Amino acid sequence: MQVFGRVQGVGFRYYTKKKAIECNVNGFVQNKADGSVYLEASGDEIDLETFVDWCRQGPTWARVLKTSVSELPTKDWNGFEIR
């Protein structure tokens, strides 16, 4: 998933990790040079839906303008990390 808008410098990665842990989702989140945030996540379908829905809004200080979601081959992530 890639998230575009005002998503860097507003705690997006920190709150994404917090939400991922709440949703029992594994993977990672990282800032990209173009100002977007990129993340990969795996988990149960309902947990992923809840997590992706949250990412489309982001934390209070963020302003998500657009998201791009792609399915990737499942990876066996251990926890959720900020890169």
Determine which one of 6, 13, 56, 78 is catalytic.
13
The predicted pLDDT at position 71 comes to 87
pLDDT confidence bin for 73, thresholds 50/70/90:
confident
Q: What total number of domains does the chain contain? A: 1
H/E stretch holding 12: helix 12-22
Beta strand segments in the chain, E = 2-6, 26-31, 37-42, 63-68, 80-82
31 catalytic residue (yes or no): yes
Tell me: the pLDDT tens digits for 51-65?
999 999 999 999 999
Domain residues for the domain of 43 are 2-82
Determine which one of 6, 24, 26, 31 is catalytic.
31
pLDDT for residue 72 is more than 90:
no
pLDDT confidence bin for 3, thresholds 50/70/90:
very high
Q: What is the CATH number of the domain that holds 8?
A: 3.30.70.100
Q: How far apart are CA 82 and CA 12, in angstroms?
A: 10
